[in-house]
Structure 1
Amino acid sequence: MTLQNLLSYVLAALAAGGNALANVMQRKAGLEEPQDRPFGPRLLLDLVQSRTWLIGFGGLVASFVLQAVALGFGQLSAVEPIITLEVPLTLLAASRVFGSRLGRPEWNGILVMTAGMIVLVAILAPRAGDETNVSNFDYLAAGGGTAATIVVLIIAGQHKNVVWRTGCLGAAAGTSFGLTATMIKETISRGDKDGLLGVVTTWQTYVAIGFGVLGLVLVQWALHVGPLLAAQPGFTLMDPLVSILWGVLVFDETTRSGFWLIPATLGAMAVGYGVFLLAHSPVLAALAENGDESALHPNVEQQPAPAAG
């Protein structure tokens, strides 16, 4: 492992921390708004005036910056799986913000997921591809397919079932962020080659900005519609999945193959199982079922609702 690769892993882990802060604080800000209020520009305008939401947005911005620097040092298919650490970090942040304790299920999920992620990245050992010589046809085909996936998920998210809607919108947000990371990788490569001029003159920069903003809007939509535990798997798993597919299939990043795919698959399954365990954590479940952060304070007696009339 080179020093650059190690640095990219550390920066990616810090970026995951920024995502975790954004998830918790933006969910907290969403809970401060009436749950029956329709999602739209007026709601977004009110959210951006909330200090809680702005703290979360700051975490998201920091995450994007750290992720961009990490992608400058490392490979797309190695950096993005590390971003999945945002799930256990989200639980840790939620326990801090809402004053709750993590129990054995949470710690088991954290250990399983972290170990699986380490195994996956170590086994695949991605090596550099060539982001600057991708044909326009490949970009059109891969980009069109990714954008179509986002559209399909948004349409599927119009179902009446709250959990289904939230999960689909979360997956759409994760897909959007995966495409954003992909375009950032190309932008960083252009910057290394041509400096600032290369960054501002390549169309990938503006596609990254556009889909980054779209992902942010989809996150707010998902968190307004339903619980974080329904949205979190989509946020977390679609981002690295999209990035790995782009890295290997479009940017020609190479990974170990043959026998090595067996332990790599087991590592990926462990990551998915860890996400499942953590997404169904009692900490997040309490927040989802009761609709306010007071549910995460087991020592606080709930006040009865006033009688009608």
Structure 2
Amino acid sequence: MTVLAAAIALVGSLFFALGAALQQFEAAGSAKPGLLALLRRPRWLIGGASIVAGGGLHIVALGLGPLTVVQPMGVASLLFALPLAAALHGRRPTREELGAAAVVAAGLVGLVLMVPESEGPTRLGPDGVLVLLGVAGIAAVLLWAGARVASPAWRAALLATSSGVLYGATATLMRVLVDGGWNWWYLLALPVPTLLALMMLQRAYAVGHFGVSFASLQVADPLTAVAFGALLLGEPLPTGAAPVAAALLTAAGTVALARTSPLEARNDLA
């Protein structure tokens, strides 16, 4: 069952990577990548369906195997996405890009696997939900503001990080919903960070530096969920020098991607 879980998670990562590459290809170079305009693009919609399929396969894999096996397979989507995105743009990924992505993936796997498992049900009151949405919103706005004055590569990174923070808040709220400790209006709050995250991510993709934007998303999403878990749900954090080393490795890989990820834009935009 463990081998089957790993295989399903790996296929899920491929679907997720393909979806991200397709959506970035449609958004790249757009001055204003609005969701309404992107919703009229068939490839963007196919990308969204592929991402949903990848997420579903990841959930199935988690039901069949341990997190320590499934999670590294999920991080592999970064290594799949770079060649797929490069192929869509008619080029080959460089060894520097792939090397930097491998460093990010290694650091992120280390960080995720060092997070202690939570025990007991997840509960969050209305005040906690407001704090969750408020902190995520403020962080996202600050990152968005920083992106407005940054160079293109760092603009993509900051916008994607903003999206990752909002997706991390969404994941935390989803956990609370699944565990049953919620009020009916939690369902009304859920679409807010989700839609804002999607909008921020398309703006990051529109910049054109796919490698750094996708890596930043991959890093920010789970780390934000872990941070909110510790801040609001009382979950434990990893301790010692190993998490620090993994974090530094992830940061170094992201910086390297910002320097090596090429500027990509379509020349057939409507």
Counterpart for residue 153 of structure 1: 143
Q: Indicate if the aligned counterparts of 2:97 and 2:211 stay in contact, CA closer than 8 A.
A: no
**1:250-276 CA distance string (max 9 Å, x none):** 22233553xxx2122212222332333
C-alpha separation in 2, matches of 1:49 and 1:180: 25
Amino acid paired to 1:185: R
The alignment partner of 2:236 has SS state of: coil
Equivalences for residues 1-309 of structure 1 within 5 A: 7=5, 16-31=13-28, 35=29, 37-40=31-34, 44-66=35-57, 84-122=75-113, 124-159=114-149, 161-190=151-180, 202-257=184-239, 261-281=240-260, 284-285=261-262, 288=263, 291-292=265-266
Percent same amino acid among aligned pairs?
25
Q: C-alpha distance in 1, partners of 2:106/2:190?
A: 31
The two structures have a TM-score, normalised by structure 2, of 0.77
CA RMSD in angstroms, aligned pairs only: 3.8
- Deviation string 1:145-189 (CA, Å, 9 cap, x unpaired) is 112111222333343854454333222211111111111222222
- Contact 1:95/1:101 (8 A) holds in 2: yes
Q: Which amino acid aligns with 2:205?
A: L
- Indicate conservation of the 8 Å contact 2:79/2:102, yes or no: no
- Once residues 159 and 118 of structure 2 are traced to their aligned partners in structure 1, the CA distance between those partners, rounded to angstroms, is 32
Whose Rg is larger? 1
* SS of equivalent residue, structure 1 residue 263: helix
- 1:91 positional shift: 0.9
Provide the C-alpha distance between the structure 1 equivalents of 2:10 and 2:55, rounded to a whole number of angstroms: 12
Look up the equivalent residue of 2:254 and give its one-letter code.
V
Q: Distance in 1 between matches of 2:104 and 2:134?
A: 31
Q: Take 1:116 and 1:29, find their aligned partners in 2: how far apart are those partners?
A: 29
Amino acid at match of 2:20: N
Q: Deviations over 1:113-152 (max 9, x none)?
A: 3433343344x25222445333433333333111211122
Give the letter aligned to residue 112 of structure 1: V
- 1:250 match: secondary structure: helix
The normalised TM-score by structure 1 is: 0.68
User: Using a 3 Å threshold, how does the CA distance of structure 1 residues 214 and 249 change in structure 2: closer, same or farther?
Assistant: same
Contact kept, 8 Å, 1:232 with 1:279, in 2: the verdict is no
Q: State the SS of the aligned residue for 2:233.
A: coil
Give the stretch that moved more between structures: 129-138 or 87-96: 129-138
